[in-house]
Amino acid sequence: MDTLFSLQDQTAVLTGAGGVIGGAMAKALAARGARVAVLDLALDAAEKVAAAIREEGGEAIAVQANVLERESIEQAAAEVTKQFGPAQILVNGAGGNKKEATTAPDLSFFDLPPDALRWVFDLNFLGSVLPSQVFGRPMAERNEGVVINISSMNSFRPLTRILAYSGAKAAINNFTQWLAVHLNQGGASSVRVNAIAPGFFETTQNKFLLRDEKTGNLTPRGQQIVDHTPMGRFGEPDDLIGTLIWLVSPAAKFVTGIVVPVDGGFSAYSGV
């Protein structure tokens, strides 16, 4: 089993890895033996994660990268290759929502600003496509590698209020299937592309929807989510680790083009 789930001598690149969820994923990959490149727009946040990995005896570097600028990603890829060699694993973790792209009592659908909608869609969709182009080309040329996209359960069933994020994550699901087929039929028959679809996890980007800013208590929406999650809680970053390790390891060598839900049973519950 250790061999089946081992990532020894693998180089893993994670975008958006300075955040809570991305950071947890980076640490988990390092614990399984991978050399980890922690990419984030905020270099200080990336360095904190990389430093924590090194303190535990792992190998990690922090690299600044803007996932919406191809030149920035190419520079990051060059640095990763220089330090660790070519990447065998890419986790497209950069993403998120913003308040201005979310309907509210004082912001109707008809008044949502295009710039905010575009920002959310670009960050989540293009922010996965561009790194997949840059880091995926060498994978395709070597016929070796794994790409993991981060989707969301509201890609399957859109949630109220969250327009751009739901649409962008639905696009991620389609892109995951498309890229898996494209690479395999294009000669890279061993390169795999899959996605993880988390349910409700508390993040910096969605906290305004889930908790009262002053008290920290659940908002009515947050309580409704917990009530409709059979396991009775929000997800925690570590809840994603088992699925991630499985998908990037030899244990999933014949798995590609799928989106795996990790949602505490939310999608299985009708509310009755």
Catalytic residue among 165, 201, 234, 266: 165
The CATH fold assigned to 11-195+242-259 is: Rossmann fold (3.40.50)
Q: Residues of the chain whose pLDDT is less than 70?
A: 204-207
Domain ranges (residues) in the chain: 11-195+242-259, 200-234
Pair of tokens at residue 30: 């390092």
Q: Is 269 a catalytic residue?
A: no
Query: 148: which residues sit within 8 A by CB, 6+ positions away?
Result: 89, 90, 91, 92, 193, 194, 195, 196, 244, 247, 248
Note the pLDDT tens digit of each residue in 204-240: 666 677 787 788 888 888 888 889 999 999 999 999 9
Structure confidence at residue 159 (pLDDT): 86
Nearest partner of 134 among 84, 82, 185, 86, judged by Cα:
86
pLDDT the model gives residue 175 = 98
pTM exceeds 0.85, yes or no: yes
